[in-house]
C-alpha cells in the first residue's frame, strides 16, 4: 500500500524478508543465497539504468531468498507476468479513468487516478507481491 501511496517501499519490509530467507537458508541451501545475489545484481543494474526503483530491487532480492534456486527463476518470471498485466491495466485505465471530482474512495485513489492519467511509474511492489503469491501458491514456498 505504501508503494501505491508514495511510491516508496519501507526498508523494514525488505529486512523482514531477508531475515526470513536467512532462517530458511538451511532448508533451501546455499544456492538460494547465490541466486538471491544474482537477482540483486541484475536488479541493481536495472536500477542504475533508471528502469527500477531501489525499494523494488531490495524487495525482489530479499523475497527471492524464500525460494529454492530453480523456483527463484520462476518467481522472477511470475513477477514479470503480473507486472505485464499491471502495465496493461494502467495503459487501459489511462485512456478511460477520469480523476474523481470527490474523494469518495479517499485521497490515495484520487492521487493514483491522477498518476495513471499522466503516465507516472507503476507501483511495482504490487507486481512483486502478486508474483510472490503466484509462485508460493504453485508450490515454490514449500
Domain spans of the chain, in order of start: 2-140
Query: 0.85 cut: is pTM over it?
Result: no
In this structure, how many other beta carbons lie within 10 angstroms of the beta carbon of residue 11?
A: 12
Tell me the C-alpha distance between 67 and 27, whole Å: 10
Tell me the C-alpha distance between 53 and 11, whole Å: 13
Q: In this predicted model, what pLDDT tens digit does every residue of 61-114 receive, in sequence order?
A: 999 999 988 899 999 999 999 999 988 887 887 777 665 555 555 666 667 676
Q: In this predicted model, what pLDDT tens digit does every residue of 6-33 receive, in sequence order?
A: 778 999 999 999 999 999 888 878 888 9
Of 39, 93, 115, nearest in space to 71 by CA: 39
Amino acid at each position: 500500500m505504501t508503494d501505491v501511496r508514495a511510491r516508496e517501499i519501507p526498508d523494514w519490509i525488505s529486512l523482514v524478508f531477508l531475515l526470513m530467507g536467512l532462517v530458511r537458508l538451511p532448508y533451501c541451501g546455499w544456492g538460494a543465497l547465490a541466486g538471491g545475489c544474482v537477482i540483486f545484481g541484475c536488479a541493481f543494474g536495472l536500477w542504475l539504468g533508471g528502469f527500477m526503483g531501489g525499494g523494488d530491487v531490495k524487495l525482489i532480492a530479499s523475497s527471492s531468498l524464500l525460494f529454492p534456486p530453480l523456483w527463484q527463476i520462476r518467481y522472477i518470471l511470475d513477477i514479470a507476468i503480473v507486472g505485464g498485466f499491471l502495465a496493461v491495466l494502467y495503459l487501459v485505465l489511462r485512456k478511460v479513468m477520469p480523476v474523481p471530482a470527490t474523494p469518495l474512495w479517499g485521497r490515495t485513489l484520487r492521487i493514483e487516478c491522477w498518476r495513471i492519467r499522466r503516465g507516472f511509474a507503476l507501483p511495482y511492489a504490487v507486481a512483486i507481491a502478486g508474483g510472490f503469491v503466484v509462485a508460493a501458491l504453485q508450490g515454490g514456498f514449500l
